Amino acid sequence: MSTPDTRNPNPPPPEMVCVTLQRPPHFWRFACDLNQAGDLLERLAHLADNEDSDLSWDDAETIASQVLAHRHHDRTEDTPSYDR
């Protein structure tokens, strides 16, 4: 007799980080899998460092702080699961 397969055939999707920033006339939206937050932070730095990009270092810092707040579980308040 074989053991039944108890694996979930439909695993939950990975938790997503989604951050938006609006500084008229620009609207920035960044989203990634929680496990890829480090890659997102590297991309932010690359954009902020690029003179042809309209994303400033101040904007990148604001977005990065939101990504990190979502990533760390020891924060004092819950982060909503929807777009912030």
pLDDT digits (tens, 9 = 90+) for 47-60: 999 999 999 999 99
The fraction of the chain above a pLDDT of 90, given in percent, is 36
State the pLDDT at residue 61.
94
Kindly state whether residue 26 falls inside one of the protein's structural domains: yes
What tokens were used for 12?
Answer: 């939950």
Q: What is the number of domains present in the chain?
A: 1
What span, in angstroms and rounded, lies between the C-alpha atoms of 69 and 66? Answer: 5
State the pLDDT at residue 71.
61
Summarize pLDDT for 68-77 with one digit per residue, the tens: 887 655 444 5
Kindly state whether residue 50 falls inside one of the protein's structural domains: yes
Q: Which residue has the higher pLDDT, 10 or 48?
A: 48
- The parent domain of residue 40 ranges over 16-71
Kindly state whether residue 80 falls inside one of the protein's structural domains: no
* pLDDT at residue 39 is higher than 80: yes
What is the average pLDDT value for the chain, to the nearest integer?
A: 79
Kindly state whether residue 3 falls inside one of the protein's structural domains: no
Kindly state whether residue 7 falls inside one of the protein's structural domains: no
Kindly state whether residue 43 falls inside one of the protein's structural domains: yes
What span, in angstroms and rounded, lies between the C-alpha atoms of 67 and 49? Answer: 19
